[in-house]
Amino acid sequence: MYEFYGGFFYSSLIILTTHSGEIMLDSAVHMIVHGMVQGVGFRFFVRDLTSSLDVKGWVRNLSDGTVEIHAEGNKEILENLIKKVEKGPFFGSVSDLTIDWVEPENIFNNFSIRF
């Protein structure tokens, strides 16, 4: 049974909207990925994952060899994203993943790679 508090149904998820019809994302996660994550297509892997999951935010390489991710969306979808990030792309390997749940900014139109 689903309860509906405003917004519209999207598959089995409820998507909240503002008065102007913009989608409000209910959760956000900030991740730092350690391991063999640079030079292996990790940012493109994350961007491709998010496009199929309807997640907004960004991914970028950091100077210490890690990858930083900020992702916003439905909490269940973000939990699914985290599981996929933990596995990483075929040529990469994740040795550690720092996860912080944060407040969504709701300012992103898409998911992008930052350089």
Catalytic positions: 43, 61
Beta partners for 68? 32, 60
Closest CA to 99 of 114, 115, 79: 79
Closest CA to 87 of 39, 33, 48, 14: 33
What residues pair up with 59 in beta bridges, in sequence order? Answer: 69, 113
